[in-house]
Structure 1
Amino acid sequence: MRDLRRLVSAAPRMLAVTLVTVVTLAATSVDTWSAERRPATPRAAPAAARHALPCDDMKALRIPHVKVKDTQSVPAGTYSPPGGGETFPDLPAFCRVTATITHVPGSSVSMELWLPSEEWNGRYMQVGTHGFGGVVHREEMAPQLRRGFATAATDSGHTAPAGLFDSSWAFESRQRITDYAWRSVHETASTAEGLVGSFYGQRAAYSYYVGSSTGGRDGMTSAQKFPHDFDGILAGNAIQNFTRGGTQMLTTSRRLSQAGFNGEEGAKLLELVRNEAIAACDDEDGVTDGILRDPRSCDWNPRGLVCHAGQEKGTCLSARQAEAVEAVTSPLRDPVTKQRIYVGQDISSQFDWIDLLPTSAFSDALYQMALNDPDWDGSSFDLHTDFAAVEDKLGFVNATNPDLRAFKAAGGKIIQYQNLEDGVVSPQSTTEYYDAALRETAHGDRSELGSFYRLFMVPGRSHKGLGSGPDNFGQDVAPPVARDAEHDAVTALVDWTEKGRAPEHLIASQSASDGDITMQRPLCPYPKKAVYKGVGNPDVASNFVCD
């Protein structure tokens, strides 16, 4: 296989028929190709784009289990994909390729690949999905194309007609759940590598992955199951414990709903809880700014908000509501065995709780799939028996294996980030995974783990990005304030992967509507935290130190 790659690299202008043969041979054994993706010797620096195949000829490629459905040469400028509804400005010229991968009966993975026509940086970037997938997230692809990456995304193996939290697709074929769990991302990576090699006449020098939420979980799954698929992974707010985290969302929804937190009035009460908790603990980090540096250290009890006689409605909680808040911020336990199922919600994560009311669409879909009942609505929910069924049927979706030794040995790098006001993915569950990886992978040696895997906690932001903290560090679709390794997580990942420059911190920025920067704070590698020096403007990152 390495001889085959040298042939491809040495002959970028080979006849199209020869390249078709090369790709066909490579695709015959996808796992073999993937297992040898990362050569032992240093790779050449990314080169300028040059085409071995015209875009239109990509459609004629014959690859086992893969059908190239369509190709399109897209000029530079604003692009509106077929079907309408989306518009992407300021894109470079590119070749758009759509394909379907069908390796086993009942599985059909759709993917889309955008190949820069003139400004390729020699790298490949795969982007993740959200929720239960079902669509190709072109809005995630566009920023990576602007950076010069050949970029791809997958629909996770199904189409979701009812949106991100639809479960109907899972009942058509159980193979689709495997597609969603890992196969779609893995096969898209393997197929894209062959297509990139065909178009440019050389494989990508480095392969990367970026995703958040479900996409973050997919990135961590790749590191755990397919350590050669990506050289660098940027994973954010990853719902790694799919079954337990989904169960926590369900119980959070039920407890808060039953306590009367539904509707606009309920949302205002949850914001009251959040504001009171933050006010009680805000100055613990030396700066009063509406941001908790570490919500877990906040010792605040919601029972202090219970209404007294004559207190105005909307300014306090009923005793039942205070009990519900206390319950959801405590560890979730099996009512029979008393074993812990999941960590509790953080005390300042109410922005995401509001989205779980009156029901959690994500959790309902999760349980519908596990219990094989498309009409399941939670009314008969039994935490002891139903959770056991979910864990049994869908536990393989989880990305909780802490053994990352194979990924480390392959030379891979991981930058993971976690918003500290996340009410979908408990920040504590993320740090517990990191701590488990520290034990399992590095035998407690933090410098060894940090040589390839670093976790950055992001204060003051919820799962969907609400909150008071600065939240732009190049991790999302918004462009970073500067494309350097301090302000841009993608650049930091590339520099670490290709040049060995590990990120000692990232700088998160908050901007006003006119684009002016209003706050910057350093994000520190866990377990370090940003500590205010005690002097200077607290909105300036240099007035903090990671300690």
Structure 2
Amino acid sequence: MPRINFLFRLMIALLLTSGAMAHASAQTGAERCAALPSAQLAMPAEAPTRIIKAELVAAAGTQPALCLVSGVVAPAVNFTLALPLEGWNEKFFQHGCGGSCGTARQYYCEQPLSRGYACISTDMGHSGPSREWIWGRDQQALVDFAFRSTHVTALVGKALVAGFYQDQPKKSYFYGCSTGGRQAMVEAERFPDDFDGIIAGGPIINQTGAAMQLLWTTLANRDRDNREIVKEADVRRLHAAVLRQCDAKDGLRDGQLADPRSCDFDPAVLQCPAAQADQCLSPDQVAVVRKIYAGPHDSQGKPLYTGGLALGSELNWLGAFVSADGKPSTDLGGEFMRHIGLAASVGPDWQAKQFDFDRDPQRFGLVEPYFSGSNPDLRKFKARGGKLIGFQGWNDPQIVPLNFLDFYQTVTRTMGGPQQTRDFFRLFMLPGTNHCTNDGVGADAIDYLDALEQWVEQGKAPEVLIGSHIERSAPQRAAIAFPLPVGTKIGFTRPHYAYPGVARYKGKGDPNDAASFEAAPAKP
């Protein structure tokens, strides 16, 4: 009798479930969207969620008609989820933030939405400007920003997708750069089951170290009276000298260094007496430049980080560490240190110039474990079949390029060697490429999502990525949609080979065509 009752209850449950599914499938996308805020969905227990609203958004350009969902994971992780009303490709896409985040605006959804993805974003647990860090004095906000928000947003996003389409996404992908790159690495390291494929660009692998490096570079160019030592004209003179000496090392003079590590430029070649500093660099200016290239050190000369800014990146110092066009340089790193990095030992009035490179780095251990994306043990991510594409611009003025390269080399040793690592993780070091934005002198417009899809879904590992340099009148601050829109003006194309490969001009053929280049080994 108990068994008969059990079978009867099971049959009723199945009939009810199939009826609900049939009803859901009969509804239009607009009807399902309207019903979403009050729907009884199976949500993950570790992510208590409230749907704030679900509204229809008309199709525009390459973007399909959408159900745009806003919600919050308790206590304060806001998210925005875009669900195509028709043509869903049965995949899920999540993108990361930049800076200190503070908004769930969908910066990078245009391309995935045009391909039929459901796309989600999060504010990482607080609201505010992307360079404001005062919220970090709240412990819950700190935890959410550091690691929790990205994970719970992925869980909730996939649950909402399943509820809306009555089907689980077949594949899930993540893209992020800068802070988003750190989110990407944290996902691969701490939550390896969340995504099948991950794209990590210019990641802040070490949050406190990266902030210290920014402070170092800013302070290196200030005298005791807080006046800048190296000026805009000096930076332009320096950059021209670097290119004169090292630009052609890849077989072509094109305004970018294929691998800055192969350049042995010494800024002392520009040194002359201080009285003639308007034609060259003074001894004090040479010392500043050397500090910027070298990166943070303590008073005994001990390195505190993985190097400094790369040769060839000099023009990107302007506006960040050197005043340009009448605009003062910014206080990069200081706000983070004031409210989070050193918050346990300094007050809200602390100034960047008070940072002590002998004592203060020892305090980072109190907060860095929250943020760290530097665990090289990626065995769980690899074992579940995950694929990871990393990219880093050599001209990045905010994230030291050698930091990601050093991490990749550490992963290689940890995972058992180059081939064992290349099976699931490939790094692309990009000449002439800045920090995340597509406004460098290199071929920085690259369809990473297409490459990741081919790797995850077809087993086609990316040996080379073809990049385009897009001619534009203003910097591109958001992700470029691929395929490139009709009428896009392309200056040149370049191949980018997976590390340790470097592109070298063959010596013949159109220098603006990627086909005129071949792979050459990089400096180990």
Flag whether TM exceeds 0.5 (same fold).
yes
AA of the residue aligned to 2:34: D
C-alpha contact (below 8 Å) 2:198/2:389 kept by paired residues: yes
Which whole-Å CA distance do the structure 1 matches of 2:275 and 2:142 have between them? 54
Which whole-Å CA distance do the structure 1 matches of 2:235 and 2:201 have between them? 25
Consecutive unaligned residues in structure 2, runs of 5 or more: 1-12, 323-327, 473-486
1:509 corresponds to which of 459, 468, 471: 468
- Compared CA separation, residues 50 and 438, structure 1 to 2 (3 A): farther
Which whole-Å CA distance do the structure 1 matches of 2:455 and 2:30 have between them? 30
User: What does residue 35 of structure 2 align with?
Assistant: 57
Secondary structure of 2:492's counterpart equals: strand
2:113 corresponds to which of 133, 140, 145: 145
User: What does residue 37 of structure 1 align with?
Assistant: none
Q: How many angstroms does 1:270 deviate by?
A: 1.7
Which whole-Å CA distance do the structure 2 matches of 1:11 and 1:338 have between them? 69
Q: Does 1:235 align with 2:200?
A: yes
User: What does residue 426 of structure 2 align with?
Assistant: 454
User: What does residue 160 of structure 2 align with?
Assistant: 195
Which whole-Å CA distance do the structure 2 matches of 1:447 and 1:167 have between them? 40
Which whole-Å CA distance do the structure 1 matches of 2:508 and 2:115 have between them? 38
Q: How many angstroms does 1:529 deviate by?
A: 0.8
1:338 corresponds to which of 292, 295, 302: 302
Of residues 49-58 and 227-236 in structure 1, the stretch that sits farther from structure 2 once superposed is 49-58
User: What does residue 428 of structure 1 align with?
Assistant: 402
AA of the residue aligned to 2:367: K
C-alpha contact (below 8 Å) 2:216/2:295 kept by paired residues: no
C-alpha contact (below 8 Å) 1:50/1:118 kept by paired residues: no
C-alpha contact (below 8 Å) 2:93/2:174 kept by paired residues: yes
- Compared CA separation, residues 362 and 204, structure 1 to 2 (3 A): farther
Query: What does residue range 15-414 of structure 1 map to in structure 2 within 5 Å?
Result: 15=20, 54-62=32-40, 63=43, 65-77=48-60, 90-102=62-74, 107-160=75-128, 163-171=129-137, 173-258=138-223, 266-308=231-273, 311=276, 313=278, 315-335=279-299, 338=302, 340-354=304-318, 355-357=320-322, 360-368=330-338, 369-372=340-343, 373-414=347-388
C-alpha contact (below 8 Å) 2:147/2:370 kept by paired residues: no
C-alpha contact (below 8 Å) 1:196/1:202 kept by paired residues: yes
Secondary structure of 1:249's counterpart equals: helix
AA of the residue aligned to 2:134: S
Q: How many angstroms does 1:518 deviate by?
A: 1.9
Q: How many angstroms does 1:546 deviate by?
A: 1.9
C-alpha contact (below 8 Å) 2:274/2:283 kept by paired residues: no
CA RMSD in angstroms comes to: 2.8
Secondary structure of 1:407's counterpart equals: helix
Q: How many angstroms does 1:136 deviate by?
A: 1.5
- Compared CA separation, residues 167 and 364, structure 1 to 2 (3 A): same
Which whole-Å CA distance do the structure 2 matches of 1:220 and 1:504 have between them? 21
C-alpha contact (below 8 Å) 1:9/1:203 kept by paired residues: no
Which whole-Å CA distance do the structure 1 matches of 2:265 and 2:100 have between them? 35
- Compared CA separation, residues 309 and 426, structure 1 to 2 (3 A): closer
Q: Does 1:533 align with 2:498?
A: no
AA of the residue aligned to 1:15: A
C-alpha contact (below 8 Å) 2:213/2:295 kept by paired residues: no
Q: How many angstroms does 1:124 deviate by?
A: 0.5
AA of the residue aligned to 1:213: S
AA of the residue aligned to 2:519: C
User: What does residue 85 of structure 1 align with?
Assistant: none
Q: Which has the larger radius of gyration?
A: 2
Secondary structure of 2:515's counterpart equals: helix
C-alpha contact (below 8 Å) 2:208/2:341 kept by paired residues: no
* Aligned positions, number: 476
Which whole-Å CA distance do the structure 2 matches of 1:337 and 1:274 have between them? 26
Q: How many angstroms does 1:177 deviate by?
A: 1.1
AA of the residue aligned to 1:251: W
AA of the residue aligned to 2:419: S
Secondary structure of 2:353's counterpart equals: coil
- Compared CA separation, residues 70 and 262, structure 1 to 2 (3 A): farther
- Compared CA separation, residues 139 and 321, structure 1 to 2 (3 A): same
Q: How many angstroms does 1:119 deviate by?
A: 2.0
Which whole-Å CA distance do the structure 1 matches of 2:280 and 2:169 have between them? 58
C-alpha contact (below 8 Å) 1:470/1:520 kept by paired residues: yes
- Compared CA separation, residues 506 and 257, structure 1 to 2 (3 A): same
Secondary structure of 2:367's counterpart equals: helix
C-alpha contact (below 8 Å) 1:209/1:234 kept by paired residues: yes
Which whole-Å CA distance do the structure 2 matches of 1:349 and 1:9 have between them? 63
Which whole-Å CA distance do the structure 2 matches of 1:94 and 1:13 have between them? 26
Q: TM-score scaled to structure 2, two decimals?
A: 0.85
C-alpha contact (below 8 Å) 1:213/1:239 kept by paired residues: yes
C-alpha contact (below 8 Å) 1:67/1:100 kept by paired residues: yes
- Compared CA separation, residues 74 and 220, structure 1 to 2 (3 A): same
Q: How many angstroms does 1:356 deviate by?
A: 3.4
C-alpha contact (below 8 Å) 1:422/1:461 kept by paired residues: yes
Q: TM-score scaled to structure 1, two decimals?
A: 0.81
Q: Does 1:492 align with 2:470?
A: no
Q: How many angstroms does 1:462 deviate by?
A: 1.9
Runs in 1 of length 4+ with deviation above 6 angstroms?
8-13, 16-19, 259-265
AA of the residue aligned to 1:268: A
Q: How many angstroms does 1:11 deviate by?
A: 10
Which whole-Å CA distance do the structure 1 matches of 2:438 and 2:236 have between them? 15
Q: How many angstroms does 1:10 deviate by?
A: 12
Secondary structure of 1:269's counterpart equals: helix
Q: How many angstroms does 1:506 deviate by?
A: 0.5
- Compared CA separation, residues 211 and 10, structure 1 to 2 (3 A): farther
Q: How many angstroms does 1:51 deviate by?
A: 5.4
- Compared CA separation, residues 265 and 240, structure 1 to 2 (3 A): closer
- Compared CA separation, residues 276 and 262, structure 1 to 2 (3 A): farther
**CA displacement, residues 205-236 of structure 1 (integer Å, 9 cap, x when unaligned):** 10000111110111011001100001001111
Percent identical pairs in the alignment equals 33
**CA displacement, residues 48-103 of structure 1 (integer Å, 9 cap, x when unaligned):** x98597101110135451101111011212xxxxxxxxxxx54210101111111x
Which whole-Å CA distance do the structure 2 matches of 1:374 and 1:69 have between them? 35
Q: How many angstroms does 1:260 deviate by?
A: 9.7
AA of the residue aligned to 2:471: A
- Compared CA separation, residues 18 and 392, structure 1 to 2 (3 A): farther
